[in-house]
Amino acid sequence: MSLAHKFLIISALSLAPSSVSAAEPAARNAKGIGIVFFVLVVLVSLAITYWSARRTKTADEFYRAGGKITGFQNGLAIAGDFMSAATLLGITGLVYMTGFDTIIYILAPLVGMSVIVFLIAEPFRELGRFTITDVVSFRLREQPIRIFSAIASLFVVVLYLVAQLVGAGALIQLLFGLPYIAAVFIIGFLMMIYVVFGGMTATTWVQITKAVILIFALTFMAGAVLARFDFNLTGMYRQVADAHPLGVSVFEPGGLLKDPISTLSLALALVFGFVGLPHVLMRLYTVPNAHEARRSVVYSAGIFGYVNVLIFFIIAFGAYALLADKPEYRDAAGGLLGGSNMVAMHLAEEIGGEAFLGFMAAVAFATILAVVAGLTIAGASAISHDLYAGAIKKGEVSEQAEVHVSKIATVGVSVFAMALAVLFEKQNIAFIASLVFAISASTTFPLLILALYWRGLTTRGAVIGGSLGLVVAVSLIVLGPAVWVGILGAGKPIFPYAYPGIVSIPISFAAIILISLLDKSEDAKISKEKFDRYLLS
């Protein structure tokens, strides 16, 4: 398995089945009780939406839940935002297959959360109102920077949304036997309902509910796994080392990441790409003040860390110890039924039978619903608040009109993403996932950090330099092994590394800084004066 395909498992949740027959046992076993839990998840989510709709009247309530979410609640929601089904299925499968190196997918987001706590949360919360673009444009010329920043945010949100929908469609297809298109449209329709009627309040409480269910499910699963080994973790690890093809080296570096440059590039994308994700940063506005914003990220780091410790140290390795010698989980060729992404589901069946398998299927579905709802409201806000209200109307628009446009944008973003998800069903989603983090790390993150901390930033530097970072990131992904070889079928990639961050991130920073330094316009002078006033305030 190439490094690009492994990135796909985590970032895009590519769960396309290797064959229909391989998926049949999981789908058949999960159908009965799984559908019951599935319906319960939908009903609870719709009840939350109905409750939220009665409390969502103004733009402030629609975009940021009126700032009434507590730090702990927002921490659960942020954790729920980032813990997609890839956390449950992708990381489990990747640890199962490759071992220790997968820890990069746990450590990198935690580093990104630390960056948000210490460098981003307070000024972001104080300077903006609803979106990243509010912060970036606080001292730059509003119209061009709002247009560029909103487009960059939309690129990230829509691509991430498409990746999640493709994975979601394949997951529901695997577990419930529904046609792929039907699965995509069910999830797309539900996310539309949550956002259009409930706004950020509904999205937040759906994410909180999902996070609590996920924590409970994984805690139970980890405890059940340990009980199988009499709570002897060392004994479990010995059994894994004896059975795994990598032997004892499954607990050493080198199973997943053998190229130090690609490893560094991946780490840069995961850390800084996370910091620039619009749907995560929007959550800093749902709390009443900057102190609560920092607390919420700290809570989310603790929750995210706890869940991933369970997955990494207990569930994934325990799955190998329990499933490796069970022929009922193997296909005719000896491979795992449904591929490595089904490890968690097979483990659920092994320790809890059909009932727990059905419950875990519903948990996976809940994680998808929460993530796509958060992405959808971020995309809608980029259109309605940044482009329509900010760039086109220049702030001269009523709250009612802005919320109305946002709801129309929600439908538009949802339908567009669903159409792309159907179109890309057979495509290599590693391409889309790589684009998400590369664009975020190479465009949104440099603009954000320089806007907050560098006096010399100018509108010209931000727009031209940011655009260059976007173009370089996309170009290097196309020229790299994931697309040039994996999709286009060329013999050798022009750019040798799967991840462009090690090149595109420095180029973006350098271009923004250099063009800003060369900018001697009156607009550049005004930008510096606004920054000085910001420091004094």
Half-sphere exposure of 466 (CA within 13 A, CB side): 29
Select the more confidently predicted residue: 340 or 192: 192
* pTM for the full predicted model: 0.81
Using left for φ > 0, alpha for ψ between -120 and 50, and beta otherwise, residue 256 falls in alpha
- Listed by start position, the domains of the chain span 3-536
CA-based nearest residue to 469, from 7, 112, 156: 156
What is the model's pLDDT at position 182? Answer: 87
Rounded Cα–Cα distance for residues 1 and 43 (Å):
39
pLDDT tens by residue, 69-122: 999 999 998 888 777 766 777 788 888 888 888 888 888 888 988 998 888 988
* Close Cβ partners of 152 (under 8 Å, ≥ 6 residues apart): 439, 443, 444, 447, 466, 470
Give the Å distances, CA to CA, from 494 to 169, 476, 480, 482.
33, 8, 6, 11
CB atoms within 10 A of CB 306: 14
Query: What pLDDT, on a 0 to 100 scale, did the predictor assign at position 429?
Result: 55
For residue 56, the model assigns a pLDDT of 79
147-181 pLDDT, tens digit per residue, is 888 888 888 888 888 877 877 777 677 667 778 88
463-515, pLDDT tens digit by residue?
A: 999 999 999 998 998 898 877 887 777 778 899 887 888 999 999 999 999 99
Convert the pLDDT of each residue in 298-337 to its tens digit.
Answer: 999 999 899 989 999 999 999 999 988 888 878 777 777 7
Average pLDDT over residues 334-344: 76
Q: What is the CA radius of gyration of the chain?
A: 23
Residue 16 has pLDDT above 60, yes or no: no
Query: Mean pLDDT score of the chain, rounded to an integer?
Result: 82
- Residue 22 has a pLDDT of 40
- For residue 174, the model assigns a pLDDT of 65
- 3-class SS at 191? helix
Q: Which residues make Cβ contacts (< 8 Å) with residue 419, sequence separation at least 6? A: none
pLDDT at 280: 84
The yes-or-no verdict on residue 518 having pLDDT over 90 is yes
Could you give the percent of the chain with pLDDT greater than 90? 20
Q: If you ran DSSP here, which 8-state letter would residue 65 be given? A: G
pLDDT in tens, 277-296: 888 888 888 888 888 889 99
Per-residue pLDDT, averaged over 12-23, amounts to 37
> What's the count of helices (H) and strands (E) in the chain, helices before strands?
24, 0
Identify the CATH class of 3-536: mainly alpha
- If you ran DSSP here, which 8-state letter would residue 178 be given? -
**What pLDDT does residue 175 have?**
65
Looking at per-residue pLDDT, the higher value among 16 and 390 belongs to 390
Say yes or no to pLDDT of 458 above 90.
yes
Whole-angstrom Cα distance, residue 360 to residue 138?
Answer: 45
Residue 490: HSE in the Cβ half-sphere, 13 Å Cα cutoff:
14
pLDDT at 8: 38
Residue 17 has pLDDT above 50, yes or no: no
Helix 71-82 vs helix 343-381: crossing angle, to nearest 10: 110
Residue 14: per-residue pLDDT: 36
- Exposed / middle / buried, residue 332 (Cβ in 10 Å: 0-12, 13-18, 19+): exposed
Q: What is the mean pLDDT of residues 191-202?
A: 82
Q: Does 338 score more than 80 pLDDT?
A: no
